[in-house]
Amino acid sequence: MSDSELLSEEEILALVEMGEKEGVEAYNLAPDAEDYDISSEDSSLTSHLGSLDMINERFARLLRTSLKSLLRYQPKIEAQQVDVQRFGTHMDSLATPISLNVVKIPPLRGSMLIIIDPQLIFNSLDSFFGGSGSHTEISGIRDFTPTEYRIIQMILQRVYQDMKTAWAPLQSVAFEFVSSEVNPQFTSIVEDNDLVIVNKFNIDMAHDINGSIEIIYPYASMKPIRDLLRNQVMGDSDIDDERIWNNYLKVAIEEVDLDVRSDLANPQISLLELRNLKVGDVIPIKMPEIVTVTSKGIPLFNGVYGSSNGHAAVKIMGEVTLDDYEVDLWD
């Protein structure tokens, strides 16, 4: 193209002015652009993490009961709101010593991290062996003793069981222990710059002592089930809503606490004998060979009295046939 075929600056300006007069938009050589962080993850998943809050609330209720056998009392457990952080940033915030447990979660991708606060470990150990649960000694980086590791495994087994139940309405999951560490510098489930989903549970124990359990999922592990997470919150009818509802109902029913009782004896005396009773009198009873275990007046099992670990107990011998009883379920 020769110089004579090129438009001069005056000619270009004249064309622009003509276009503006005739309502023609001039070509924008520098269109408006939006900043985009190429390191950011898919935001469509983040918007559906509310379903994890629902799972965590259910897990916290279950864990309260499960930890009672270790602490000898039922602690208060509160699920914190789900948070998304860089893995390296979160690990830098952890104090030592601490129990870091890498666990696979098939069928989800990768491994998750279960972090157990040492205060929960030491208090569980103290209570388990008959102490008051007021142990507060935490100092320096050290490995846990074999006995403390045993307590950690007992806590983990309860976490596995309750988390499996909590996830059941959404997705069937399993747990496979991989490794344990006390120093965050030597623990990794993803790269430091990768996003993770942090689920924290604050535990209020006796003597105003606080602990926590954290369950950390790789952000990428949730991507294959993003539709399930979305439908969990939005109730999408394309998913089998009846199955989800039935699972929820089943889990809720199984969490209900029931009082059970068995009567050792039911002696009968006359009104005259009752009126004449005084301190030191003895009411003779006949020990039954078989006792009935009931709940809300409904006979459930037949058993025999005995003792277990120094406590009175009933050994279940068989189920009761309800056809043999007339029971008003609404009493």
Tens-digit pLDDT profile for residues 207-222: 888 899 999 999 988 8
Q: What is the mean pLDDT of residues 236-262?
A: 65
Q: Say yes or no to pLDDT of 239 above 50.
A: no
Distance CA 213, CA 199 (A): 8
Provide the CATH topology of domain 43-254: Chemotaxis protein chec (3.40.1550)
Higher-confidence residue of 202 and 288: namely: 202
CB 184 within 8 A of CB 113: no
Position 188 confidence tier, pLDDT thresholds 50, 70, 90 = very high
Q: Tell me the pLDDT tens digit for each residue of 64-96.
A: 989 988 888 888 999 999 999 999 999 999 988
- What value does the mean pLDDT take over residues 234-244? 49
Helices vs strands, H then E, count in the chain: 10, 11
Residues of the chain with CATH 2.30.330.10: 261-324
Q: What is the pLDDT of residue 59?
A: 94
Whether omega for the bond prior to residue 97 falls within 30 degrees of 0, making it cis, is yes
pLDDT for position 173: 92
Average pLDDT over residues 217-239: 71
For residue 284, whether the previous peptide bond is cis, meaning omega lies within 30 degrees of 0, is no
pLDDT of 28 over the 60 cut: no
- In Å, what is the CA distance from 299 to each residue of 147, 149, 251, 291, 304? 42, 42, 24, 10, 14
Statement: residue 175 has pLDDT above 90: yes
Name the residue with tokens 């000898």: 72
* Averaged pLDDT, 229-235: 61
- Give span(s): CATH 3.40.1550.10, the chain: 43-254
Helix or strand or coil: residue 232?
helix
Average pLDDT of the residues in 298-310: 85
Amino acid identity of residue 44, one-letter, is S
Tally of CB atoms within 10 A around 160: 18
Percent pLDDT > 90 in the chain is 32
Of 91, 85, 113, 92, the residue nearest 215 (C-alpha)? 113
Here the tokens at position 18 are 């003509």
Q: Check residue 329 and give its pLDDT.
A: 44
Residues of the chain with pLDDT > 70, as a percent, come to 73
Distance of alpha carbon 140 from its chain centroid, rounded? Answer: 29
Residue 249 DSSP class:
H
Secondary structure (3-state) at 114: strand
Q: Count other C-beta atoms under 10 Å from residue 52's C-beta.
A: 23
Per-residue pLDDT for 179 more than 80?
A: yes
**Predicted pLDDT of residue 48:** 65
Whether domain 261-324 has CATH 2.40.10.220 = no
Which residue's structure tokens are 């959404």? 170
Q: Is the pLDDT reported for residue 304 higher than 80?
A: yes
- Please enumerate in sequence order all residues whose Cβ is within 8 A of that of 232, keeping only pairs 6 or more positions apart, or say none: 48, 51, 54, 170, 244
